[in-house]
Structure 1
């Protein structure tokens, strides 16, 4: 059973652990989103390379100017999409780093509250031991005093 004065600290510890767990869950989701963005980026790079390779072969055989303009327009849009996806990967990585920093701060808070609880418990144990020692000392003193008094009573008789 915990001492009632420690109850607020245990509530604080529970809240700190919940906040940390929430951040850990957010970080896991951010890491999944980052992995998905990287996978999509790899697919886009692969598609762009395939597209460019196919059109190199077409250009080697000769194509109409209108078809070449279509290729360049689509290739430009594809490059834009690849660039946007790269930015998405970068933002996802930054989100992970921010959540990592928040998680470390939350873990530090949990550890600090636990340490505070440990210190308070140790202080309460020490105070209890001092009270017990004081009580034992008083009891021994009374017993000695009583023996002394009883010895004086026998001397007077």
Structure 2
């Protein structure tokens, strides 16, 4: 494998890292939206509790039928809003789960490409070391067959 292939793998790694970084940002955004949805649901729940307490302390004993109907109507709309917000929270949590899974996949991709690059580098270094050893062995062999080698004298003066 030559350096062009390593460069290609480096470009692939950069792309994988970019995708991973985008997935991380998406997860952070989804988490923030889920936190906001939960906070709004908590506020609605607290408002309903406060509303019920106010009703109990102010109007439950001396309220007219119109006031009771307004209380019930508003309470019903408040319950609907809480139910809707609960659905929003569930969807937001689902998006967080999906974003987390995507981030995990993207992180695994980055790790896989890094491992492949390291493996290719090791293969290239091994190949270069073998080529260097072969070249050194050939040079030593040629130097060994020089004028001082007994076989070279026999080959030069056959009887």
The alignment covers a number of residue pairs equal to 154
The CA distance in 1 between the partners of 2:152 and 2:9, in whole Å, is 54
Q: Identify the residue that residue 58 of structure 1 maps to in structure 2.
A: 58
Alignment of 1:7-156 (within 5 A): 7-146=7-146, 147-148=148-149, 152=153
- Deviation, structure 1 residue 150: 9.0
Separation in 1, partners of 2:110, 2:150: 58
**TM-score w.r.t. length of structure 2:** 0.90
Distance 2:152 2:78 in 1: 108
SS in 2 for 1:61: coil
Deviations 1:99-156 (A, max 9, x none): 1110000000000000000010000000000000000000000011113169628x96
For residues 60-116 of structure 1, the C-alpha deviation after alignment (integer angstroms, 9 at most, x for no partner) is 322111111111111000000011111111111111111111000000000000000
Superposition RMSD in Å: 1.9
SS at match of 2:63: coil
- The answer (yes or no) to whether the contact 2:145–2:152 under 8 Å persists in 1 is no
Q: What CA deviation, in whole Å up to 9, does each residue of 1:30-54 have, x standing for no partner? A: 1111111111111111100000111
**Stretches of 4+ aligned residues off by more than 4 angstroms:** none
- In the TM superposition, residue 26 of structure 1 has moved relative to its aligned partner by 0.6
Q: Which has the higher helix share?
A: 1
TM-score normalised by the chain length of structure 1 = 0.91
Structure 1: gaps spanning 5 or more residues: none
